Amino acid sequence: MIRLVREIGAATVRFVEELGQLGVFAGAIVRSTVSPPVRVRLFVAELFKLGVLSLIIVCVCGLAVGMVLSLQGYNTLVRFGAEESLGAVVGLSLVRELGPVLTALLTTGRAGSATAAEIGTMVATEQLDGLRMMSVDPIDLVVTPKALAMIVVMPLLSALFIVSGLAGGYLVGVEMMGVDSGNYVSSLRASIDFYDDVAGSLLKALVFGMLTGLIATHRGYTCTPNSAGVSAATTSTVVVGSVSILISDYFITALWGV
């Protein structure tokens, strides 16, 4: 019993400690963002690596999710004779929830793990120490461009996911199930509000981008310098990243009604 209490206590202390470290790390990233030099070239290179290389996977997944949503939505709606609101059902679920969340989960698995592994390998092979010895701050040169790129890329990928999803929904609903194309588009238009739904969706994606960027770079940066350490950092980026995305999603939805 006492052991259990002690272990819970120790775990809590570890958790709070880690949260504090993460806060300090985030502070360092913010500081290096606002202080010169501005590293545009590196940032753009990271944007390409994280964003452009995730395009295909995001499009394909968006399309598939839209198609499934449309199929499920049609089968339910048709029971109530309300299949003309298919556009609204597909659109609202994609914009408010599935777009940002699924994009964030996909991006964490694809780009977040890669980021953690890359930085972790640099730690294990003393590349970051090499930079320090040249009086170059590795946060400034390596971490910040990656974290910022993740923040910027997430809303863009999420928007792309939503657009592909709407197209997939149209494909199944209109082309296969025979919903009227005008109905699909007009119910979509009528139900989605720019401020409530679209801006909220972008806000969600932005928050998820911050979480993924911060967790991935921090796990890599603090990784134990060997191959087991790199692999642990990669795994925990995906696990911790996904869990925090889902939990924060609940709170954003509950607090801001997005």
Query: How far apart, in Å, are the Cα atoms of 13 and each of 141, 220, 221, 237?
Result: 32, 22, 21, 20
Residue 232 beta carbon to other proteins: minimum distance, rounded to whole angstroms: 17
Asked if residue 132 binds other proteins (CB under 8 A), the reply is: yes
- Minimum CB distance to other proteins smaller for 37 or for 257: 37
Asked if residue 163 binds other proteins (CB under 8 A), the reply is: no
Asked if residue 125 binds other proteins (CB under 8 A), the reply is: yes
Tell which one of 17, 126, 175, 193 touches other proteins (CB under 8 A).
126
Cis peptide before 155 (omega within 30 of 0): no
Query: How far apart, in Å, are the Cα atoms of 77 and each of 23, 147, 171, 177?
Result: 47, 42, 17, 12
Asked if residue 34 binds other proteins (CB under 8 A), the reply is: no
Tokens of 17: 């400690």
Residue pair 172/73 in contact (Cβ under 8 Å)? The answer is no
- Minimum CB distance to other proteins smaller for 140 or for 249: 140
Residue 221 beta carbon to other proteins: minimum distance, rounded to whole angstroms: 13
- The binding track of 222-251 with respect to other proteins, each residue x by CB under 8 A or -, is ------------------------------
Residue 17 beta carbon to other proteins: minimum distance, rounded to whole angstroms: 18
Spatial separation of the C-alpha atoms in residues 75 and 144, rounded to whole Å? 47
Helices assigned H by DSSP within 93-199: 99-107, 113-124, 127-133, 138, 144-170, 181-191
Tell which one of 131, 163, 232, 252 touches other proteins (CB under 8 A).
131
How many other C-beta atoms can be found within 10 angstroms of the C-beta atom of residue 96? 21
Tell which one of 127, 222, 231, 236 touches other proteins (CB under 8 A).
127
Spatial separation of the C-alpha atoms in residues 212 and 54, rounded to whole Å? 15
Q: Which stretch binds other proteins (CB under 8 A): 121-129, 171-179, 205-213, 242-250?
A: 121-129
